[in-house]
Amino acid sequence: MSSRSPVFQKGLLSIKDLSTNEIEEVLSESERMLKVCRSGIKADHLRNMIMATLFFEPSTRTRLSFESAMQRLGGGIIGFADPSSSSTMKGETLADTVKIVSSYSDVIVLRHPRDGAAREAAGFADVPIINAGDGAGEHPTQALLDLFTIRKEKRKLQGLKIAIVGDLKNGRTVHSLAYALARFRNDVTFIAPRQLQAPADIVSSLNEKYGQRVEMSESLDAALDADVIYMTRVQEERFKSKAEYLQFANYYNINRNFLSRSRNDVTIMHPLPRVREISPEVDSMKNSAYFRQASYGVPVRMAILKMMLSEK
């Protein structure tokens, strides 16, 4: 009888597709995979399996951590990191691309600039689809590694004050994280310029479906008593013009001066890449967790792939 986990048999399109127990199962498996990473031993859970990475938008951490995860589990990799090297440039539709690549692989990791593209692709795929970011929609695997980071840094996932700061309108990472945090009892504050606040439908859904009350502010000082500050960049590629982007490019900055006024034990996170929102002087401070956060992408994505594909 197969011992494959039922959690991800149909893929991972949204963090909302997972129950609280399933999220906790992923985090526990991620802890086991972290030990595998640190042991230096290559596992063979996914030997003879192939992961296809279809990245229609740029990526460093997500794509490379997925590829590292698959290799550490003994699997192979195909795909592209630049759509200009694919038949998309010849007019091929996403549906046709996914249908074809399904026949070459056992799982597809998809990043696409259009909201809802991952769910659309899942309708044409014969293998599980993992949403690696769809426009300004969601980024569920990032949310899982964010939860894993919070638990590693704070030793718990409940009873925390968490400030989420930056471009909350266009930031798919914070959309997924907000839904993930709603499964646990925390005080959440959204800090953003009025024009870049989280979409109203997300805020209302958090409140009505999950009972998550969210405070909203434009001032970074609203994060001074936070246990965790989750910074995000202003997403230049989502703006209609350079001039519009520059209105908000330097809106917030975490530096030593700010941290001298915040909680001594505050944890600073960021999905990266950062632009101007965290000063490099913070990197060497005990509060900075964003590079550790990025490193956890490998064990967390190992856990997802193993639970999705392995029968061991």
Q: What are the catalytic residues? A: 61-62, 90, 111, 139
**Residue of 141, 74, 73, 79 lying closest to 105 (CA atoms):** 79
Asked whether the beta carbons of 110 and 83 are under 8 A apart, the reply is no
Q: Exposure of 124 by Cβ count < 10 A (0-12 exposed, 13-18 middle, 19+ buried)?
A: middle
Q: Exposure of 204 by Cβ count < 10 A (0-12 exposed, 13-18 middle, 19+ buried)?
A: exposed
Q: State how far the Cα of 39 lies from the Cα of 211, in Å rounded to an integer.
A: 41
Query: Which residues, 6+ apart, have CB-to-CB distance to 155 below 8 Å?
Result: none
Query: Which residues, 6+ apart, have CB-to-CB distance to 8 below 8 Å?
Result: 128, 304, 307, 308
- The residues pairing with 190 across neighbouring beta strands, listed in sequence order, are 164, 216
If one counts every other C-beta atom within 10 angstroms of the C-beta of residue 116, the result is 14
| Token pair of 59 as six digits | 């990526």
Q: DSSP class of residue 33?
A: H
Asked whether the beta carbons of 296 and 148 are under 8 A apart, the reply is yes
The residue type at 31: E
